[in-house]
């Protein structure tokens, strides 16, 4: 249905439980990799994805600016996959750190940020 931006799909649930309701709505996500080919969840570590606009390359080094005490701190990172405007960070950032999401041209290490 173009007006509602919906599509009808028929799904078979292999092991339904008592919580399953008929004619329910669902959100579908198309995967770029077959989950059966991906490593088991217990073997993978959580990944950090950031906007590509937050990443800059200077003199062959990939960097982001991490916000520490309201100042931008130049931080080298190692990146992995690039997908849908996001880049995977393999090394250099920790979960929960705040970064400058879109680096202005004149950004400098130690610059005050809001």
* pLDDT tens digits, one per residue of 29-46: 666 766 666 665 545 667
Between 19 and 36, residue with greater pLDDT: 19
Task: Note the pLDDT of residue 67.
Answer: 93
pTM: 0.60
Task: Note the pLDDT of residue 55.
Answer: 93
pLDDT at 23 over 80: no
Q: Which two tokens stand for residue 42?
A: 């217990």
pLDDT at 51 over 60: yes
Label each residue of 38-96 as H, E or C.
Answer: CCCHHHCCCCEEEEHHHCEEECCEEEEEEEECCEEEEEECEEEEEECCEEEEEECCCCC
């Amino acid at each position: 249905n173009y007006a509602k931006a919906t599509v009808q799909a028929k799904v078979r649930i292999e092991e339904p439980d008592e919580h399953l309701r008929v004619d329910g709505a669902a959100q579908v996500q198309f995967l770029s990799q077959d989950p059966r080919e991906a490593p088991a969840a217990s073997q993978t570590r959580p990944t950090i994805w950031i906007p590509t606009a937050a990443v800059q390359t200077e003199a062959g080094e990939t960097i982001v600016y991490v916000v520490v005490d309201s100042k931008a701190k130049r931080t080298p990172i190692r990146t992995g996959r690039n997908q849908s405007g996001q880049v995977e960070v393999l090394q250099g950032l920790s979960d929960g750190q705040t970064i400058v999401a879109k680096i202005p041209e004149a950004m400098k290490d130690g610059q005050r940020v809001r």
